[in-house]
Amino acid sequence: MARRHKDEFRSLRKSVSRDGQKRRTVIGKTCVVIRPSKAYHGKQGLDYSAGISTQSAGSTGLCMHLLSLPPSGRSIPHYHRRHESIIYVLSGKAGMWYGDALRRHLTVKAGDFLYIPANIPHLPYNLSNTTSCTAVVARTDPNEQESVVIYDVPDPGLPKQQVNR
């Protein structure tokens, strides 16, 4: 206990500014700007613009990428082992099958946020045959593809009310 206190005191002394104010700094880390230029094909069958991750920015707790679902594009059923996901839809409209055997369905459109809990199977797809659906994807997996697990169930297709459209 005494050693920990001494280490904390030492780090505080080092972070006192000239005016006597205590400042916290993280030694060896810095802010990083990533300009998406590299694209990659994920295990879930979708193409992403690489953003923030362990590999690009040294992130230790999350990742964030740009996803563009092409017209009529679909992922492979999958889930993210022990990691949550948040999606913000920038443009377009998408559907998503989710849950046990992909029996549940939802729809998101530009301006919507979507939360996917850890370990929830899902299959997102673009509802449009003519325009892409673009979204920002953030996940608590800093390595992005490490936690992706393919969920071996048949693709449920389109919801019944959309089959005839």
Q: 3-state DSSP call for residue 20?
A: coil
Any domain includes 41: yes
Q: What is the pLDDT of residue 11?
A: 40
What gap in Å lies between CA 106 and CA 87, rounded to an integer? 13
Any domain includes 70: yes
Q: What is the pLDDT of residue 50?
A: 87
Residues spanned by the domain of 51: 30-163
pLDDT string in tens for the chain (165-residue length): 344 344 444 443 444 545 555 555 556 789 999 998 788 889 999 999 989 999 899 999 999 999 999 999 999 999 999 999 999 999 999 999 999 999 999 999 999 999 999 999 999 999 999 999 999 999 999 987 889 999 999 999 999 865 433
Residue type, position 1, single letter:
M
With DSSP H G I counted as helix, E B as strand and the rest as coil, what are the percentages for the chain, rounded to 5? 15, 35, 50
Report the domain count for the chain.
1
What is the side-by-side strand order in the sheet with 93-98?
A: 104-109, 93-98, 122-126, 78-80, 148-150
The CATH number assigned to the domain holding 106 equals 2.60.120.10
Q: What is the pLDDT of residue 162?
A: 57
Any domain includes 159: yes
Q: What is the pLDDT of residue 113?
A: 98
What gap in Å lies between CA 40 and CA 130, rounded to an integer? 23
Any domain includes 7: no
What gap in Å lies between CA 41 and CA 75, rounded to an integer? 11
